[in-house]
Amino acid sequence: MSADPFRGQIAVITGGASGLGAAMARAFAARGARLVLTDIDGDGLAAQRAALGDAVVHTAVVDVADREAMAAFAADILERFGAPRILVNNAGVSVSARSIDTSPEDWAWITGINVLGVCYGIALFGRAMEAAGGRAHIVNIASAAGLNGLFTMPAYSMTKCAVYGLSEAMRFEFDDDALMTHVICPGFVPTGIVSNGRAEDAVDRALGDRLMADADAAGRTPADVAGAVVDAIDKQRFRTLVYKEASMMRTLRHLPDFLRRAALRKLGDQVARRRVAAAKAVDEG
Task: Supply the pLDDT for residue 148.
Answer: 84
Task: Supply the pLDDT for residue 177.
Answer: 85
Give the predicted TM-score (pTM) of the model.
Answer: 0.91
Element (H, E) at 74: helix 67-81
Task: Supply the pLDDT for residue 76.
Answer: 98
- Describe the chain by its helix, strand, coil percentages, rounded to 5: 55, 15, 30
Q: Is 120 a catalytic residue?
A: no
The pLDDT averaged over each successive group of 10 residues in the chain (285 residues) is 85 98 98 98 97 97 98 98 98 93 96 98 97 95 90 91 97 89 95 88 77 90 98 97 91 80 71 63 65
Domain coordinates of the chain in residue numbers?
Answer: 10-254
Task: Supply the pLDDT for residue 275.
Answer: 62
Among 120, 156, 164, 243, the one annotated catalytic: 156
What b/e string do you get for 177-193 counting C-beta neighbours within 10 Å, with b at 16 or more? eebbbbbbbbbbbbbeb
Task: Supply the pLDDT for residue 212.
Answer: 87
CATH code of the domain occupying 10-254? 3.40.50.720
Task: Supply the pLDDT for residue 278.
Answer: 57
Alpha-carbon distance 28 to 57, whole Å? 13
**Distance (Å) of CA 245 to CA 104, 116, 189, 227, 263:** 30, 26, 11, 18, 12
